[in-house]
Each structure stands twice: as C-alpha cells, then as structure tokens.
C-alpha cells in the first residue's frame, strides 16, 4: 500500500517524506522523485505518520524505530487496524490515532485515483489527543481518493475483524467451492480448459461481482437471464446443508478472541513454516498445473488474453 498511497498524496498536493528499512525500496522511491529519510528522521520531522508496513512486521519496527521518537501533537494513521485492535501496538496518550483503510488492493488504490473513480474505505479515530483527529483522518482520506466512493465509520476492532473474516471465512469457502466444482466437472469428462474458463478465467464471475458492487447483489441477479435467476433462487436453499453459518461463527470467534492473532504472531516469529508447507502442498496439486496449461492456451502472443 505504501507506493500508491505516497503517489496519491503527492498528486493531491501533500508534502510526502518516504522511509523504508529496505534500501532497494528507498532507491525506488527516490527514483520516483520522493524525498527519502530513515524511519527515525521521518518520525522526528513529520506531523502525520502513516504506518504502511506488513501487519506482522510492524510491531517491532514501531517499538524500536517509531515509538521512542514520538512527540506531542503528531498523528499515527494506519491503513490496517490489525495491530492496534489486537494490542500489538499501543500508542502513547499524547498522539492522535486514526485509520484510513481502503477496501481494495494497493494497485487499485492508485488506478482508481488516476481515473477519478476512487474507492470505498473504512475510517476511524482510535484516540483524539489533539481534538482534531477526525479532521486529519478525513483530510488524508480525501487526498487519497478514499472519499470519492464513500467512507464508512467503524471502530478499529471492527475493521480488523471484518478484514480477517473475509479472508478466513468467505475466501476459503470460495476456493473450496471452485476447487470442488472443477474436480467434479473434470472427473465427469469436461475438458480442463473449458472448466477453468467457465468457472473463473473468463472473468464472468468477476464481472458479476463488479456489477454487484455498483448496484447491489439482488439488482445484479435481476438483470441476469431468467434461466440464471431461476437456477440461482430455486437451488439456493439446498446449500443450507453445508452448515456454513456455524463454520463462520467459529471463525469469527477465533478472530475476536485474539487466537488467530497470536497464532499468526508465532507463525511470523518462526519464519512462516506452516504457511510455506500449506502453499507447497497446494502448488503440488495436479489441478493447478491444469490451470496453468489453460492460461497458456488462452494467452495470445502479446501476453494478453
């Protein structure tokens, strides 16, 4: 998120000073025309500090390189509420703490700023030491393009919990459904290139969700073919047998209790052993080799589709 945020702020007329503890990233920022400095120098010279490191790496950076140099009147602005919500970062009482959390990926933050479309976001104030924290948060959100499609006020805890819930309840269900469907169809003799194209490579599902993001899920269904409407509505209830609600309740409880946050902290401290193992297992599945073959089949000579 760091690069698109810095570019958007600069293009909106904000003076931006970039820091990174990775020399190659500092070099990239300098090549893009940004003034750069060490983390300590930025903390000592800037009034508004945007902490955009990865969630798991941020607590140590904050403790060692940010916290000792904070002064009264500064504002800490996060793009993810994770560390504040789960207690990994505790700001001193004399600084403002705010949140501007884009509900999209970093690349889209930049692209939608340039097109003028903007993007939806969550905003919050966790601590208002100055009495004007909301003015700072909303000004930054405006400069980022985060108000063009509307911003929703939430608590820090809610942003973190909603974000993790999407990642741990909705996306796993989506992956599981697509993988199960693909395997079933190929076992029934459908060619892999047709299966993967129909399920997601064509972009039809993405187009459906894009339409839903503009007009709502029910209105999107209404403009589908009558066959699609009837098929979706008449078969909807049979999926209640999956007990999805109970599985999602368990997932939400793991998030809210902090159990996942502690699990992820241990995983980071050990250099991601389980993540690497799970990724290797998934990559070895024959299905993904077929997926890549389908992508090669669909790709034109210019690398596009």
d(CA 242, CA 219) in angstroms, rounded, equals 26
Whether 54 and 268 have beta carbons less than 8 Å apart is answered as no
Q: In the chain, helix, strand, coil percent, each to 5? A: 60, 10, 30
Whether 140 has a pLDDT exceeding 80, the answer reads yes
Mean per-residue pLDDT over the chain, rounded: 92
Whether 75 and 49 have beta carbons less than 8 Å apart is answered as yes
Helix axes 106-115, 2-11, angle to 10 degrees: 20
Closest Cα partner for 70 from 98, 49, 87? 49
pLDDT, tens digit, 9 for 90 and up, residues 66-96: 999 999 999 999 999 999 999 999 999 999 9
pLDDT, tens digit, 9 for 90 and up, residues 222-269: 989 899 999 999 988 888 777 888 889 999 999 999 999 999 999 999
* 180 three-state secondary structure: helix
């Amino acid at each position: 998120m760091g690069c698109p945020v810095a570019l958007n702020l600069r293009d909106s007329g904000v003076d931006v000073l970039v820091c990174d503890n990775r020399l190659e990233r500092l070099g990239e920022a300098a090549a893009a025309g940004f003034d750069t400095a060490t983390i300590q120098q930025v903390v000592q010279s800037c009034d508004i500090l945007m902490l955009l490191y990865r969630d798991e790496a941020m607590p140590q950076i904050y403790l060692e390189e940010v916290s000792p140099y904070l002064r009264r009147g500064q504002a800490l602005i996060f793009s993810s509420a994770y560390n504040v919500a789960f207690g990994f970062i505790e700001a001193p009482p004399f600084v403002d703490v705010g949140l501007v959390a884009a509900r999209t990926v970093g690349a889209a933050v930049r692209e939608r700023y340039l097109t003028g479309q903007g993007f939806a976001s969550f905003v919050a104030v966790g601590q208002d030491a100055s009495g004007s924290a909301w003015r700072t948060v909303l000004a930054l959100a405006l400069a980022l393009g985060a108000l063009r499609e509307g911003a929703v006020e939430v608590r820090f805890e809610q942003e973190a919990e909603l974000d993790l819930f999407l990642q741990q309840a909705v996306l796993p269900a989506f992956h599981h459904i697509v993988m199960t469907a693909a395997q079933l169809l190929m076992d029934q003799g459908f060619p892999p290139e047709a299966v993967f194209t129909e399920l997601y490579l064509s972009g039809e599902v993405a187009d459906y969700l894009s339409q839903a993001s503009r007009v709502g899920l029910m209105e999107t269904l209404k403009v589908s073919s009558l066959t699609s409407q009837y098929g979706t509505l008449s078969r909807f209830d049979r999926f209640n047998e999956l007990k999805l609600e109970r599985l999602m309740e368990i997932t939400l409880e793991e998030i809210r209790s902090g159990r996942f946050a502690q699990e992820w902290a241990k995983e980071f401290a050990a250099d991601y052993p389980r993540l690497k193992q799970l990724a290797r297992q998934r990559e070895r599945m024959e299905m993904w080799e077929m997926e890549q073959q389908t992508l090669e089949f669909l790709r034109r000579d210019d690398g596009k589709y």
